Amino acid sequence: MLNNDMISVLTDRIQTVTHSNKNLILVGPIQLPVNLDGETVPFQWYSWLAADLFPEGATTEEIIQQLPSLHLAESQQSSVLVYGDFENANEALIRMHSICHTGDIFGSKRCDCGFQLRQSMRMIQAHGSGALFYLANHEGRGIGLFSKAMAYILQENGYDTVDANLELGFADDTRSYAEAIAVLQALRTKPVSLITNNPKKLKALKASGMNVDKRIPLWGDISSYNEKYLQTKKTRSGHLEKNEALI
Ligand SMILES: Nc1nc2c(ncn2[C@@H]2O[C@H](COP(=O)(O)OP(=O)(O)OP(=O)(O)O)[C@@H](O)[C@H]2O)c(=O)[nH]1
């Protein structure tokens, strides 16, 4: 049983984030020194859960009591890495990164996800202020890891990445950025620049009322293994070329 001092320490790091569908409980900041190309970079880390997992207005003690019964390791939680004075800096770079088990963890060359993850962290550090949202329920553009494995088999047999999803009975892309945007708005209200090639991310951010200064394209790590995948993103998913503006 935690003593009152520890409850108070945890309470200071928990906040409720208002979100149109359901509120979120955000925990952080937590110091997270990260090894980026051999340099130790001091990120601040936050994670969140849906508030409706807990009784309304739950205290920190009630939240803690509930945690073991939620079996959180069996579901996915998203998080955000924040760098610099994210709340107050005049300019900040953000990235909404969809989880890619194969690319981010294994370094798969079938996509560009692992490259984009590391590169956006480097860009945020070099800029001096920013945030990387790691969106854990986005695997395979929302179809889940097992289904993505099936989709990969279809792709090895001639389907492109979009048709493979559709043939398996999914929509091509079911990702929502709403929770991440609500967390972003709790951490910063000043304008942001978004690192992406995906116009849907830009639209979602702008529709939320967030002031988006500019889009920063991120193409790279192109090889024979992902050439077709990257091309399909442009021809079928509407991903923008380097300097193409959002129409
Ligand atoms: N279904 C499916 N998902 C994939 C495939 N390759 C990568 N992904 C997933 O696609 C998501 C990333 O989407 P992308 O289209 O690469 O990029 P984006 O996030 O839309 O746009 P950027 O911000 O420019 O990176 C991750 O969740 C990956 O797991 C694939 O062949 N099939």
Neighbouring C-alpha atoms within 13 Å toward the C-beta of 221: 18
CA–centroid distance, residue 80 to ligand 1 (Å):
18
Q: Kindly report the average pLDDT of the chain as a whole number.
A: 94
In this predicted structure, the answer to whether residue 224 has a pLDDT above a threshold of 80 is yes
Q: How many residues are listed for the chain in this entry?
A: 247
Q: Which of 175, 188, 215, 221 is catalytic?
A: 175
| CA pair distance 225, 110, nearest whole angstrom | 5
Q: Which residues contact 16 (CB under 8 A, 6 or more apart)?
A: 23, 24, 25, 26, 51
Mean pLDDT of 102-116: 97
| Nearest Cα residue to atom 16 of ligand 1 | 113
Q: Could you tell me if 186 and 229 are in contact, meaning their C-beta atoms sit under 8 angstroms apart?
A: no
Q: Which two structure tokens, joined as six digits, stand for 105?
A: 């963890």
pLDDT digit string, tens, across residues 1-45: 889 999 999 999 999 999 887 899 999 999 999 999 999 999 999
| Ligand 1 mutation target, pool 108, 113, 233, most atoms within 8 A of CB | 113
Q: Which residues contact 4 (CB under 8 A, 6 or more apart)?
A: none
DSSP sequence for 55-72: -TT--HHHHHHHHHHH-G
| CA pair distance 229, 246, nearest whole angstrom | 21
Closest by CA position to 30, among listed 60, 58, 9, 49: 9
pLDDT digit string, tens, across residues 157-214: 999 999 999 999 999 899 999 999 999 999 999 999 999 999 999 999 999 999 999 9
Q: Which residues line ligand 1 (CB under 6 A)?
A: 98-100, 111, 113, 116, 138-141, 143, 148, 151, 155, 161, 165, 196-198, 201, 218, 229, 233, 237, 239
| Nearest Cα residue to atom 4 of ligand 1 | 140
Q: What is the pLDDT of residue 247?
A: 40
Active site (annotated) includes residue 173: yes
| Nearest Cα residue to atom 20 of ligand 1 | 198
pLDDT digit string, tens, across residues 52-100: 999 999 999 999 999 999 999 999 999 999 999 999 999 999 999 999 9
| Ligand 1 mutation target, pool 96, 99, 100, most atoms within 8 A of CB | 100
C-alpha torsion 60→65→66→68, nearest 10: 130
- What are the strands of the beta sheet with 14-17, ordered from one edge? 14-17, 24-36, 39-50, 79-83, 130-135, 93-98, 192-195, 212-216
Confidence of residue 120 (pLDDT cuts 50, 70, 90): very high
Decide if domain 4-138+175-235 falls under CATH 3.40.50.1370.
Answer: no
Q: Which residues contact 9 (CB under 8 A, 6 or more apart)?
A: none
Domain spans of the chain? 4-138+175-235
Residue found under tokens 């996915």 = 76
| CA pair distance 182, 180, nearest whole angstrom | 5
